[in-house]
Amino acid sequence: MTLLNRVQKLPRDFVWGGATAAYQVEGSTQVDGKGKTMWDDYLEKQGRFSPDPASDFYNRYPEDIGLAKKYGLNAVRVSIAWTRIFPEGYGQVNQKGVEYYHKLFKECLDNGIEPYVSLHHFDSPKTLFDNGDWLNRKNIDYFVDYAKFCFNEFKEVKNWFTINELISLAYSQYIAGTFPPNHHFDVTSAIQAEHNELVAHARVVNLYKELGLPGRIGLIHVIQPVYSISTSIEDKHAAKLQDAFLNKFLLDGTFLGYYSDDTMASINEILQLNDARLDIQDGDLAILAKAASQNDIFGLNYYQNQFIKAYHGESENHFNGTGDKGTSSFKFKGVGETVKKPGVPTTDWDWNIFPQGLYDTLKRISHDYPNCKTIYVTENGLGYKDKFVSPDKIIDDTPRIDFIDQHVAALLKARSEGVNVQGYFVWSLQDQFSWANGYNKRYGLFYVDFKTQKRYVKKSALWFKELADTMNKE
Ligand code: BGP
C-alpha cells in the first residue's frame, strides 16, 4: 500500500505539525523587556553567528501560521521563552512577554492550528544559568513557579510539554561541550542535570494534576536507539551501556518513576569508570513515582540511531558543526565508540539516516512503558544545505521529502501494529538556526532568506499539503 493510501485511513484528528523553538525562531532577543538566556553573551563572544534576527518569528508569526494553515498543517510546536515572562527567571513578570504569547496562541487558534507548547527548550535564563542551571536544586523551584504562572495565565493552551530533550541539553553542555558551559565528559554534571530535570518535570506534572487543569501534559525525549555493530559480547555490552546513558535512564525515570536495577547497573558502571557520581535526594523518587502515571502525552523526537563498538581508551569527541561530511567521531571511556555501518546513509552532518530506528523506538516504548499512553513524534527532519535558485522557482529539497516519507512510513507501520501514536511534527516549520551549527543547517518546509526575512515554499511543503489533503478526503 502506498504512503498516501495509508494516510487516507488515519483519523481526521491525526496531527500534522511543524515544530519551532522560541530562541531559534523569534529573534528580538533584546526587545520588550526580555531577559538574557544562557546563549546571548556566549554567542556574542564566540562570534560565529547571532541569534538576531533568527527567523523573526517575534514579528512574522502571522505569516508563518498562515503558511502552516495553507499547506495543510493542523498544529505547531512552539516554546515559551522563560525570559520573556520572567526576565530574571523568577520575580517580576514582564507583561509585554505575556501579551506576545497570548497574541501568538490566538493567531494559531483563529487559524485552526493547535499550539503544542514547551516551557523549556534549551534556553535557560542567564541569571539561573550563572548559578548552576539545572545542577542547582533551586532551579527546580523556579521552574515550578514559572510553569504555574503559565498554566494560570495561558488557559487557551491545551497541550503542554515541560522540557524538551533533557539528554541533548545535558549531553551538549557537559559531555560534548557544544553548549555553554562547554564541559567535556563531565559525567557527574550530565547525569545530575538529567535527574534534576526529571524531578522538575515530575513536580510540574504533579502540580498540573493538582490544579485540575483540563489540558494534557507531558515531556519530550529525543531517543537515539543504540545498536551493537557486531554480535560480540563486548560490543553488545557497549551498546547496552550507551543505551542506558542516552535513553533508558530517562525513560525509566519518566514512565516507571524509578530507575530499574538493570538501568542502574549500567549507569553505575559508567559512573565508576568515569569517576563520577549521582546524588538522588530523599523524596525525589516519590515525586517521580507520583508523576509516572500522570503524563498524558509523550513527545518523541527522532533523528538518528547509533551503531556502537566497545572502546577502552580515553574519551574524545570531534563534533561536525559545519556540515563537512566525515569529520565527526565520538569515543566514550568505558562505554563505547560510535561507528558507521556500511549501507546506512548519513547526512552532511554525519547523522545516520535510519527510519527503522523510529519504528523500533515506538515499539519499544509502547511495549516497555505501559504508562506512556499517547505518543506524538514531536521532531523529525533532515538538516540540509538547501539551495535557493530564484524567487519564482520552488526550492527542490527532494532528499528531505524522501527522509520524511520513510519516517512517516515507519510511524504508520508501528501504528498499524497497535502503537498509539497520534501525530507527526516535522522539524522544522520554517528554516531556523541550529544551536551548534548556525544558519547553514536548514530543516524548514519553508525557506527563510535570513537577510530579507522573506519566506519561500520548498517542495517538501507541497508534499506535506498532498499528505494532509489526502487524509481529509472522504
Ligand atoms: C533537537 C532540538 C531542536 C533542533 C533539532 C536539530 O535536538 O530540539 O531545537 O535544533 O534537534 O538539531 P540541530 O540543530 O543540532 O541539527
Q: For the segment 263-280, what is each residue's pLDDT rounded down to a tens digit? A: 999 999 999 999 999 999
- Mean pLDDT for the chain overall: 96
Distance from C-alpha of 456 to C-alpha of 77, rounded to nearest angstrom: 20
Can you say how many angstroms the Cα of residue 324 is from the centroid of all Cα atoms in its chain?
23
Geometric angle at alpha carbon 435, from 429 and 440, rounded to 5°:
70
Going along the chain from its start, the domains and CATH numbers come out as 3-472 (3.20.20.80)
Catalytic residue among 44, 194, 379, 466: 379
Q: How far is CA 358 from CA 75, 224, 326, 379, 408, in A?
A: 21, 9, 23, 11, 9
Q: What is the pTM of this model?
A: 0.98
Residue from 37, 57, 162, 168 whose mutation best tests the ligand 1 pocket (most atoms within 8 A of CB): 168
Supply the pLDDT for residue 472.
67
What confidence tens digit (pLDDT) does each residue in 413-457 have? Answer: 999 999 999 999 999 999 999 999 999 999 999 999 999 999 999
- Give residue 433 CA to ligand 1 midpoint distance, Å: 9
What is the Cα–Cα distance from 299 to 376, expressed in whole angstroms? 5
Q: Calculate how far, in angstroms, residue 290's C-alpha sits from the geometric centre of ligand 1.
A: 30
Contact (Cβ atoms closer than 8 angstroms) between residue 229 and residue 307: yes
- CB atoms closer than 10 angstroms to residue 91: 10
Residue whose cell numbers read 511495549:
367
Strands 297-301 and 375-379: parallel
Lining residues, ligand 1, CB within 6 Å? 21, 24, 164-165, 168, 222, 301, 379, 383, 427, 434-437, 441
Per DSSP, the residues of 167-189 read HHHHHHHHTS--STT--SS-HHH
Ligand 1, atom 4: nearest CA belongs to which residue?
434
State residue 334's pLDDT score. Answer: 87
The per-residue pLDDT for range 163-188, each reduced to its tens digit, is 999 999 999 999 999 999 999 999 99
Ligand 1 centroid to Cα of residue 322, in Å, is 14
82, 107, 447, 457 from 465: Cα distances, Å: 33, 20, 16, 11
Asked if pLDDT for residue 474 goes beyond 60, the answer is: no
Per the annotation, the verdict on 44 as an active-site residue is no
From ligand 1's centre to the CA of 434, what distance in Å? 6
The residue-averaged pLDDT of 54-59 equals 98
pLDDT above 90 for 55 = yes
